[in-house]
Amino acid sequence: MCGIVGFTGKKQAADILLDGLSKLEYRGYDSAGIAVTDDAGQTEVVKAKGRLKVLEEKTDWGRAVKGSCGIGHTRWATHGEPSEDNAHPHISDDMNVVAVHNGIIENYQEIKQKLSKNGYVFYSQTDTEAIVKLIDYYYKKYNGGPIDAIAKAMVRVRGSYALAVMFKDYPGEIYAARKDSPMIIGIENGEAYLASDVPAILNHTRNVYYIDNLEMARLSESGVQFYNIDGDIIEKTSVEIKWDAKSAEKGGYAHFMLKEIHEQPKAVADTINSVVKDGKIDFSEVGLSDEDIKGIGEIIIVACGSSYHVGMVGQYVIEDMAKIPVRVELASEFRYRTNLLRKDALVVLISQSGETADTLAALRDVKQQGIKTFAIVNVVGSSIAREADNVFYTLAGPEIAVATTKAYSTQLIVTYLLSVQLAKVRGEINDEEYSSLIKELTTLPEKIQKILDDKERIQWFASKLANQKNIFFIGRGIDYAICLEGSLKLKEISYIHSEAYAAGELKHGTISLIESGTPVVGVLTQNDLFEKTISNMVEVKSRGAYLMGLTTYGHYNLEDTADFTVYVPHTDEHFTPSLAVVPLQLLAYYVSLAKGLDADKPRNLAKSVTVE
């Protein structure tokens, strides 16, 4: 996700801002910019698409931009392609307000409409420009000063933000506001710093304040003052950061993978909120019309790796909800087969990176046949996103660890949303079922968080698997699709051989591999298949298997069969992959940790496979 920095004090600001942004590069970005106000109160804004190096060269490493108060930003695109116009800082027309933002303003379209009626024009596609001009609007309309204008904007917007704002009338001062997106503020020797994350200011100070949700701050040479949303002054105590620089990039987590596992509640919520408005799914920005949906004769999902596993979930969910035939294909196989596609087919391509060679090639093949394509992608402006007819962006933010977790989870969410929308438009579910499914979706973030809060049991069990040579995952239906992802997670970061098996298929050969002590993970979240899978677990137990069971609360009879049982909260059975996958992600991570491996950079693997 985006990174923001700010500085005000006696030193020149530009090189401090650039250095701070360089410490946030790990967060992933596609453009960057700074704004610096000089002693005469003039503000210069410099932005550049691409790597930070481009901005450094443009500003002669900061030397060309004078002033001791400024803000900076690295942008991970969520609304609008990577470009200079869309890069931050964003400004009001008369430079009265200049700001940078990390987060998502969900209702930015309605805010733009409101401001347009009041004479504002917009130069970018971003949600950020909307909040900048909204602050300017309130500042001029009520003449209540910066804190009042920002507070009014905070009340009006929906979404998440870490904002750093400069006002022309208040040179030398930076105003901050936060809701859900991270921000810290540091003070040292009469200098004030702000940033999205600790690494950006660790060279300057370890003395930081954590601004809380719906709070604001005023940074100046005399230090920092905090305010609540009513504009009342509040007192906060600073804390001393004890992390070293490297662990600070991971927000205190040992690995990016663990950090990204913990980012799933927010990533899932952001992705849901990107299209769910007032309890309804709004696909208008995605571009799949009701007419398109009614005309779909079959769906083919094409992807690789974990994205393919999302497709496997999608097959069960879409067929059950929308009654549309679905086929899931490995892109590397699909692209070389004689594909007999119906003209009314919809091909769905799923890719975190949007650059996977096999998936991109499959997309191009299908487009040549004149078949409609729909992409589910995490990286804005990536090749697959640009070339598909329609794209639904997951809002997982940049994913650093090679083993995908939060991107996988947001892809699942998009698959559910697509399934529900297809079912509603095609009359397969009524209004009540539609509303109930959407309401249940919005409970997933807190249910994921509940699982994360109880992760110690998984860590204990993982230590028992670290020396194993073979581990099996078995399940039926959607549970089989969950097994596929759990098995891949384990394999790719612990190097233990693992197989996911349709539980009913085991006895057709592979059960011969089960011997005393062989670990088998049974996934049982589908009520109507529960007893069937229990039987398969009893079969392998009778051959000596060491059983872990993964099910939803209430199925305590599983403990009669399994040696170790993990429970996840209840949800609509179509959505259980979003919950069941979390213990399996944690299991893989902790096994990797127990083996002393680097979970973030597993051997032989790349984050994006851009070659065949």
Sites for ligand AGP among residues 584-603 (CB under 6 A): none
Smallest distance from the beta carbon of 351 to ligand AGP, in angstroms? 3
Q: Where on the phi/psi map is residue 62: left (φ > 0), alpha (ψ -120 to 50), or beta?
A: left
Closer residue to ligand AGP, CB minimum distance, 150 or 493: 493
Token couple for 137: 């609007």
Task: Give all strands (DSSP E) within 130-181, no chain letters.
Answer: 161-167, 174-179
Least distance to ligand AGP, CB of residue 400, Å: 12
Residue 360 within binding range of ligand AGP, rule CB under 6 A:
no
The owner of tokens 């303003």 is 105
- Is there a catalytic annotation at residue 2? yes
What 3-state class would DSSP assign to 200?
helix
Task: Work out which of 224, 313, 322, 402 binds ligand AGP, going by CB under 6 A.
Answer: 402
Q: Which stretch binds ligand AGP (CB under 6 A): 150-158, 349-357, 469-477, 564-572?
A: 349-357
Q: How far is the CB of 334 from ligand AGP (least distance, A)?
A: 13
| Cβ atoms < 10 Å from Cβ of 432 | 8
CB atoms within 10 A of CB 116: 12
Binding ligand AGP (rule: CB under 6 A), the pick from 35, 403, 562, 584 is 403
Letters for 171-210 (x = contact with ligand AGP by CB under 6 A, - = none) are ----------------------------------------
Strands 390-393 and 372-377, bridge-based pairing: parallel
Is residue 21 near ligand AGP by the rule CB under 6 A? no
Going by C-alpha positions, the residue among 167, 171, 439, 125 that lies closest to residue 285 is 125
Q: 438 vs 482, which CB is nearer to ligand AGP?
A: 482
Considering the complex, state which of residue 54 and residue 609 has its C-beta at the smaller distance from ligand AGP. Answer: 609
CA distances from 382 to 86, 376, 455, 595 (A): 16, 11, 34, 35
Q: What share of the chain is helix, strand, coil (3-state, %, to 5)?
A: 40, 25, 35
Of the two residues 341 and 361, which places its CB atom closer to ligand AGP in the complex? Answer: 361
Q: Does 293 bind ligand AGP (CB under 6 A)?
A: no
CB atoms within 10 A of CB 604: 7
Are the CB atoms for 201 and 195 separated by under 8 Å? yes
User: Least Å distance between CB 609 and ligand AGP?
Assistant: 5
Among the residue ranges 206-214, 303-311, 428-436, 575-583, the one whose residues contact ligand AGP (CB under 6 A): 303-311
Nearer to ligand AGP by C-beta: 271 or 551? 271
The length of the chain in residues reads: 612
Whole-angstrom Cα distance, residue 172 to residue 193? 12
Does position 397 bind ligand AGP by CB under 6 A? no
Applying CB under 6 A, does 351 fall inside the site for ligand AGP? yes
Nearer to ligand AGP, 466 or 609 (CB): 609
The interface with ligand AGP within residues 440-499 (CB under 6 A) comprises 492
Q: What is the enclosing helix (H) or strand (E) of 184? A: strand 184-188
Smaller CB separation from ligand AGP, 484 or 511:
484
Shortest Cβ distance from residue 603 to ligand AGP (Å)?
Answer: 13
Among 70, 77, 325, 257, residue whose Cα is nearest residue 174? 70
String marking each residue 491-510 x if it binds ligand AGP according to CB under 6 A: -x------------------
Work out which of 306, 409, 526, 551 binds ligand AGP, going by CB under 6 A. Answer: 306
Distance of alpha carbon 196 from alpha carbon 102, whole angstroms: 8
Q: Is 307 in the site for ligand AGP (CB under 6 A)?
A: yes
Q: Is 339 helix (H, G, I), strand (E, B) or coil?
A: coil
Nearer to ligand AGP, 106 or 355 (CB): 355
User: How many angstroms separate the CA atoms of 224 and 195, rounded?
Assistant: 14
Give the other-Cβ count within 10 Å of 45's Cβ. Answer: 18
Cβ–Cβ < 8 Å for 286, 346: no
Tell me which of 96, 220, 352, 487 binds ligand AGP, using CB under 6 A: 352
Helix (H, G, I), strand (E, B) or coil at 210: strand
Contact between 20 and ligand AGP by CB under 6 A: the answer reads no
By CB under 6 A, tell whether 304 contacts ligand AGP: yes
Residue pair 566/458 in contact (Cβ under 8 Å)? The answer is yes
Size of the site for ligand AGP (CB under 6 A): 15
Residues with catalytic roles = 2, 607
- Positions touching ligand AGP (CB under 6 A) are 304-307, 351-353, 356, 359, 402-404, 492, 608-609
